Amino acid sequence: MTPEMVIAIGRNAISTAGLLLLPVLIVALAIGLIVSILQAITQIHEMTLTFVPKILAAGILLYFLLPWMIKVLIGYTLTLYQIQPLG
């Protein structure tokens, strides 16, 4: 296995992880922003108030996106198994 192949595998692993995490991070960021705006408007500064909506939104999103995530991971794993080492 050449160093270029190792770099390509690492690059693909990082991009696949980013692709899988990006939807959940965007939803958590949006929910956190909305809750922060509501806290600023109502002047309720409870620290735990931001965590519950984020966790619920992330859980619901993961429930709906899990089949797609599994397909992406299976595709990545299959490409790893199909790589033929040269030595």
Closest residue by Cα to residue 62 from 51, 70, 50, 74? 70
Please report the pLDDT score of residue 85 as a whole number. 67
Contact 58, 32 (CB under 8 A): no
Mean pLDDT of the chain: 90
Structural domain of 58: 3-82
51 inside domain: yes
Name the residue with higher pLDDT: 5 or 47: 5
Is pTM beyond 0.85? Reply is no
Rounded to whole angstroms, how far apart are CA atoms 23 and 83?
29
Number of domains into which the chain is organized:
1
87 inside domain: no
18 inside domain: yes
Confidence of residue 47 (pLDDT cuts 50, 70, 90): confident
